[in-house]
Structure 1
Amino acid sequence: MRAREELLKRLGVDIDAETLRLALTHRSYAYENGGIPTNERLEFLGDSILGFSVTDHLFRTYPDLSEGELAKRRAAVVSTRALAGIARRLGVGECIYLGHGEKVTNGKNKSSILADTMEALIGATYMSSGLEEARRLVVRLVGPLLEDAAVLGAGTDWKTHIQELAANRQLGNIHYAVVGEGPDHARSYTATLLIGGIAYGSGTGNSKKEAEQHSAADAWKVLCPDGNGMVGGAEGANGAA
């Protein structure tokens, strides 16, 4: 129980014990324990609160952004990838009640499970402490991501954009060096992106494809440190070199 109490401290919210347990109960655990309630209803609730809170924050914080840009930013920070990243930083995975099957397949680190649980925790905060507290939690969690160029491209195919950028700058051939480690049921991968034989980025993931995408996103930050580039349009000033 201490791990879950520590999680509440990291979240900075008060959730009563029963609601917290529900928010952390994955369906695999529920099915193995007599069909007890799962966190799916809280997830449904939290998803709506997350979307509203992010929309409200974006509207008030970025008065000069167009509707299209606001929508792009919202989509990025409420994505499975972004929410799973938040969950990993908070150590949510260690606190989820999982069934045996999910435990042995490293369910505590699966992006879909982590993202769904984050939404359930937002819903649980609303149920325990009200809308304003839930809204403040959302802003604390996603606010910093709204200035992160890599996160704002969460829905972007980074491998394609890096390929185009490397070709435009004539940097050389692209190669992803991927190494896997761990048992088959809980394998993780690390990818290093080399362009013209030079390493530009690295990333990890539960699959080779995910690791390669993360390494490409990492390389983008090196090649376009001010965020300019080809994401969402023509190549910017940095890409003209």
Structure 2
Amino acid sequence: MTGQKVRLAADLAAFASRIGHEFQRPELLVRAVTHSSISSATRPSNERLEFLGDRVLGLTVATALFKADGTAPEGQLAPRFNALVRQETCADVAREIGLGEVLKLGRSEMLSGGRRKEALLGDAMEAVIAAVYLDAGFDAARDVILRLWGPRIAASAVIETRDAKSSLQEWAQARGLPPPSYIETGREGPDHQPVFTVEARLENGQSATGRAKGKRAAEQAAARALLDRMEQDVQD
């Protein structure tokens, strides 16, 4: 085994430890972290696993939400579910466990910052879930998902069902303004755990910034800050 393969095996073993699953078939994990930019006839990409992992994640999260709140109607459960399984959330989880560090990418994708791309990280996270499922069955995959998504699932019941970005867009539209724009103004921290600063800006010149782990969370924080500022201006 070459030095590069030894390092890859060690990195993947450390990653498996972070998600709490020891693979009996480590080749499944290798496939889950292989992007199409480096795939070949003998080295398949993670795209098929992504398809499967999306379904395993959806069933697990839907079941967890159903059990966590025995009184919530479908109209409340659906937006919570959508927020938990959306690509941005998958990417946030991927960053927390350092998935970007072990991705196998083609040179061009690597040079363009592929390890930090939201879509790429989200897809790979779903592929990893499928790899666990194929390696050890649904219970093992469910346990990994609940471990990684647990705090988000627990918090979802107390989070507003309408997010701040939607509320801000409706506020703008009601006043004949175009939708707000969101501009990334800063990024700090390591690649696997970045902290984003985003500015929410309206065409009328009003703006506010938000800071969070994950770009979408920072956008939400900026939208909420702008809504709060406008509410305060009305009270004053």
30, 55, 67: which one pairs with 2:74?
Answer: 67
Residue range with higher mean Cα deviation, 35-44 or 121-130:
35-44
- Superposed CA offset, 1:149-169 (max 9, x none): 6x967995717527839x9xx
Match of 2:108 in 1: 101
Listed one character per residue, the Cα deviations across residues 105-157 of structure 1 (whole Å, up to 9, x for unaligned) are 101111111111111111110111111011111111222113446x9679957
Cα contact 2:168–2:227 (8 A) shared by 1:
no
Give the equivalent residue in structure 2 for 1:24.
33
Amino acid at match of 1:3: D
1:145 aligns with 2:152: yes
Runs of 4+ displaced beyond 2 Å: 146-149, 151-157, 162-165, 174-181, 188-205, 213-216, 219-225
The C-alpha deviation readout for 1:152-202, integer Å capped at 9, x for no partner, is 67995717527839x9xxxxxx99775468xxxxxx974345899996523
Distance (Å, rounded) in 2 between the aligned partners of 1:178 and 1:111: 14
2:22 is the counterpart of 1:14: yes
TM-score (norm 2): 0.71
Q: Which runs of 5+ in 2 are unaligned?
A: 1-7, 175-179, 188-194
**Cα distance in structure 2, aligned partners of 1:61 and 1:204:** 25
Aligned: 1:54 with 2:57: no
Q: Which runs of 5+ in 1 are unaligned?
A: 168-173, 182-187, 206-210, 226-234
Percent of matched pairs sharing the same residue: 33
> 2:198–2:222: 8 Å Cα contact kept in structure 1?
no
Distance change (3 Å), C-alpha of 1:117 and 1:57 = same
Q: Distance in 2 between matches of 1:221 and 1:160?
A: 9
User: What CA distance in whole angstroms lies between the structure 2 residues aligned with 1:81 and 1:154?
Assistant: 17
1:131 maps to 138
Equivalent residues of 1:190, 1:204 under 8 A apart: no
TM-score by length of 1: 0.70
Aligned partner letter, 1:13:
H
Quick check: 1:86 aligned with 2:93? yes
RMSD: 3.9
Are 1:5 and 2:8 an aligned pair?
no
Question: Do the aligned partners of residues 50 and 216 (structure 1) sit closer, same or farther apart at CA in structure 2, a change above 3 Å counting?
Answer: closer
Distance 1:36 1:47, change over 3 A: same
Rate the CA distance shift 1:23–1:154 in 2: closer, same or farther, 3 A. farther
| Cα distance change on mapping 1:56 and 1:175 into 2, 3 Å | closer
2:79·2:161 contact (CA, 8 Å) conserved in 1?
no
* 1:38 CA drift (Å): 1.1
